[in-house]
Structure 1
């Protein structure tokens, strides 16, 4: 029975990788098509201005300047409703990408559930399990957020890191299901590690949007333009992207605070001390300090929001190091990678 469940879990992960890769391709196609439509509008704009100057039409059809906050609710389409400006082929590509994203998310959930049933425990005992559960939470966060607002423009940028994690899980971090080490056999694994993994998922969304914010801000500062960044004209304004990223970090930071506190309580039960200067503990605290610095800088008058966002991206870099490097190469009481 366990061998069958193990195969189902593995097949689900591999199938999810294929489906999500296709979804990534359709999201990229969507961005390419709306960018092409945007370039066509820019080329046609001078003609509309000449007609308006001649007094034969009103200025109702002119575009709103890039950089306002209004596009945030419509996916970044400047001036008018997004649906009226997107070509039908772009909407079709986005619809296929969304359907594939839902299917891929369901497959990752199935992989996690069957892995949990296979090992008869919470599936967070090694790097492979951390990876697939983290990918699951990231996808669920994106799907849930997308149900509240139009985030089609974000799909490609979320699926890319998810695919990188899933690919690493099946090629580098894969390990057979096994029993937990004695110190991990506690209900705290369902609390501490689950919240930590959920927090990383939200940090991922915040970092992705934050990186897009810096690109969009640079584009707006330089006056926009076409070329390789033409698709950026269909994204929300830089100011709107910064607010979205900040919102994600505001949610994630208290969750990470709880993660650090819960870890200390668990450490007291497992090892007799709240703090042992273990590499994992130290890096978890470093992450907390960096993100606290970001939130402080974001709220401090005189700090540029671009500089504050760079601090947040440094924090996400620490998250990656904590997961992919500290877990594997640093020897300590948290050496549970399974590799």
Structure 2
């Protein structure tokens, strides 16, 4: 096979993974909407007698967990999970084959960065699914996010080919890889932050006796808002040092390439703005209850800045990074 044939095969794998993610999302939607859920076991409390003596709980009085017989929607969710694994493998294979076709490190343009971010996000999510049932219950929202991300990446598709001479350095494997990994984990943190705010809003409306709208009503069967908030925090604690390292590595690369560590290039500036926002999120999260209420909004704004830096800065603002194209 020629390099062109390998590049075409990478495109086939890429299109296939988008289709699989979309089908998986549909399966998760069926499960989320119509699937049965097991109830938590409730243990009988000790009861006091009239004389004040306590009786030991009767084992037979315990309410066992309700066995769940999988229905069609539950099976659809299982199929969706299988498809998610296959789609992630297909996406990884697409990147590997594209790398072989181009003969370079696979982060040379906006398209490759975006699909790398999506891959890291889904690998992170699948690891969470294996460790935490909360992530498994919310796979609909993760697959929706990655399907949209991959779908939009087609808008800036770039043929596999040689890298720009200015990017032909081992630093691309250090600086850009760290940014890709951090962005993928930030993507997962963004999903949890949105779900947390939706659930928090749903709980507030219900406690006030109000009827939630359609979008907020989706949060009815979500996990507890505090649990979602903790998962949001964990993702950002993991990604923030990687984003910091990416900025520092980029500064070292800039010194070698341009003779200065910082040039106030738009890409550098917006990467630093994202760093400041994420630092503010982490500070707000641990500073107290008052500021903690606003922390999820900072997480969402931070990821919006990351996307702005990835898209608008690449496409609109001229700068030292403009040679990378899209």
TM range (shorter): 0.7 to 0.9
Query: What's the counterpart of residue 105 of structure 1?
Result: 88
Q: What per-residue deviation string (whole Å, max 9, x for no partner) do you get for residues 111-142 of structure 1? A: 10010000001111011211221221111111
CA distance in 2, matches of 1:301, 1:227: 30
SS in structure 1 at match of 2:107: coil
Corresponding residue number in structure 2 for 1:12: 13
Deviations 1:195-228 (A, max 9, x none): 1011011101111101110111111122267884
Which is further off, 128-137 or 248-257?
128-137
Change (3 A) 1:86 1:226: farther
**What stretches of structure 1 of length at least 5 have no aligned partner?**
42-57, 62-79
Which residue of the other structure, out of 147, 153, 159, is the alignment partner of 1:169?
153
Runs of 4+ in 1 over 6 A off after TM superposition: 224-227
2:74 — aligned with what?
A: 91
d(CA) in 1 for partners of 2:61, 2:228 = 28
Is the Cα contact below 8 Å between 2:187 and 2:303 reproduced in 1? yes
Aligned equivalent of 1:153: 137
**1:125–1:103 CA distance, 2 compared to 1 (3 A):** same
How far residue 9 of structure 1 moved from its aligned partner, in angstroms, is 0.5
Judged with a 3 Å threshold, the aligned counterparts in structure 2 of structure 1 residues 276 and 293 are, in CA distance, closer, same or farther, namely same
SS in 2 for 1:318: helix
- Does residue 1:221 correspond to 2:204, yes or no? yes
Count of paired positions: 299
Q: Which one of the candidate residues 274, 279, 282 is aligned to 1:295?
A: 282
Which residue of 251, 259, 270 corresponds with 2:246? 259
Deviations along 1:77-109, whole A, 9 cap, x unmatched?
xxx86x845753332121101000011101101
State the shift of 1:231 in Å.
4.9
Alignment RMSD (CA, Å):
2.2
Deviations 1:53-97 (A, max 9, x none): xxxxx9955xxxxxxxxxxxxxxxxxx86x845753332121101
2: CA distance between counterparts of 1:86 and 1:216? Answer: 27
Q: Secondary structure at the match of 1:17?
A: helix
Q: Which residue of 1 aligns with 2:23?
A: 22
For 1:321 and 1:230, locate their aligned partners in 2 and report how far apart those are by CA, in whole Å: 29
Cα distance in 1, alignment partners of residues 325 and 93 from structure 2: 22
Report the 3-state secondary structure (helix = DSSP H, G, I; strand = E; otherwise coil) of the residue aligned with 2:162. Answer: coil
- Could you tell me whether the CA contact under 8 Å between 1:126 and 1:336 is conserved in 2? no
Written as runs of structure 1 = structure 2, the 5 A alignment for 1:1-339 is 1-34=2-35, 84=67, 87-150=70-133, 151-170=135-154, 172-223=155-206, 228=214, 229=216, 231-339=218-326
Counterpart CA distance in 1 for 2:73 and 2:62 is 25
CA contact (8 A) 2:101 2:161 kept: no
Q: Secondary structure at the match of 2:319?
A: coil
Q: Give, in angstroms, the shift of residue 302 of structure 1.
A: 4.5
Asked if the contact 1:256/1:288 (under 8 Å) is kept, the reply is yes
Given that 1:138 and 1:202 are in contact with CA atoms closer than 8 Å, whether structure 2 keeps it comes out as yes
Mapped contact 1:279–1:332 kept (Cα < 8 A): yes
- Give the whole-Å Cα distance in 1 for the aligned partners of 2:314 and 2:19: 27
Deviation digits for residues 124-183 of structure 1, max 9, x if unmatched? 10112112212211111111221112222221211122112211222x111112222222
In the superposition, the TM-score normalised over structure 2's length comes to 0.86
1:94–1:152 Cα contact (<8 Å) kept: no
TM-score by length of 1: 0.83
Gaps of 5+ in 2: 40-59
